[in-house]
Structure 1
Amino acid sequence: RKIHAAIIGFFEVSIYVTALSKVVGNLDNPGNLLAYALGYACGNYIGITIENRIALGNLAAQVILKEENNIELIKKLRDSGFGVTVLHGEGKEGSREILQIAINRKDLANLKNIVYSYDKEAFITTNSVNPISGGYFSTIKKK
């Protein structure tokens, strides 16, 4: 994986330096500057789109719920293959349940769908985490 990143980085920088040298060498031509800027913007858009589709990596998801009857939601998440740790906390408006869940990035949409089907006001945050070791972390069941 590191080797692939290095190879891709090599070609990315090679293209960048070549394109930039053409633009800097012809600053009197606004068309070159516009073409470079459009190419840069398109490259960012395509790169982000590809990264979101591939969805590599792991996330630590935190789901904050009003502390009401969340037993069904927690059971549904666990039955769907998510390892859920439940913490109790206090928020501005009272008691809360905090669910800590380690997931693959590609499973984020599934997690959100399940949570929001039970609680439309749930507050979900994620952080990228690597590596993950120990604990319960499995592949989510596909339906």
Structure 2
Amino acid sequence: MVVQGRKLHAAAIGFFEIIIYITALGKVVNGLDDPGNLLAYALGFASGNYIGIFIEEKIALGNFAAQVVLKTSKNREVLDSLRNNGFGVTSVQGSGKEGSREILNIALKRKDLDKLKQILYEYDERVFITVSNTKPISGGYFAPKKK
């Protein structure tokens, strides 16, 4: 939430997180004579991280910027398929070790990443894809929100 600039969400979650942290840490520090307390705290912390990451992946808030290097002869079909599925795609020509390539720049919602990969893998199982978090500033193309 902090990285994505979601100030209110980050503050609210942080408020409850620190209450839990101080309460749990206080019990661990007061019971240092029992190593089980320390072990229980460490296990709770580790499982909290694991569950938190799992939940965050399912919620999938935010946006990605994907760059795709096409190695297929069906570039036009790939572009049409992506655009028909609601992806905004900008295509540029590039050159690599093995010759000319088409490079696609795609802005997408995080929850649509699996759909993007599925479409691309239909045309080329060895397609080169890089993805990074992004925070769009203005303009661009995003499919209308689904209700």
TM-score, structure 1 length as denominator? 0.89
SS at match of 1:81: coil
- Distance in structure 2 (CA, Å) of the matches to 1:31 and 1:95: 61
Does the CA-based 8 Å contact 2:69-2:104 persist in structure 1? yes
2:33 maps to 1:31 = no
Give the aligned partner of residue 59 of structure 2: 54
2:24 maps to 1:19 = yes
Give the aligned partner of residue 129 of structure 1: 134
TM-fit CA distance, 1:113: 0.3
2:8 maps to 1:6 = no
Deviations 1:118-137 (A, max 9, x none): 11001111111113420222
2:113 maps to 1:108 = yes
Unaligned runs of 5+ residues in structure 2 are 1-5
TM-fit CA distance, 1:67: 5.8
- Distance in structure 2 (CA, Å) of the matches to 1:4 and 1:70: 41
Unaligned runs of 5+ residues in structure 1 are none
- Distance in structure 2 (CA, Å) of the matches to 1:130 and 1:136: 13
Moved over 4 A (4+): none
Amino acid at match of 1:83: G
Deviations 1:1-58 (A, max 9, x none): 5323212111101111221222233333221111011101111111111111111111
- Distance in structure 2 (CA, Å) of the matches to 1:118 and 1:11: 46
Does the CA-based 8 Å contact 1:60-1:128 persist in structure 2? yes
2:96 maps to 1:91 = yes
- Distance in structure 1 (CA, Å) of the matches to 2:103 and 2:120: 12
Give the aligned partner of residue 73 of structure 1: 78
Does the CA-based 8 Å contact 2:72-2:123 persist in structure 1? no
Identity rate of aligned residues, in percent?
65
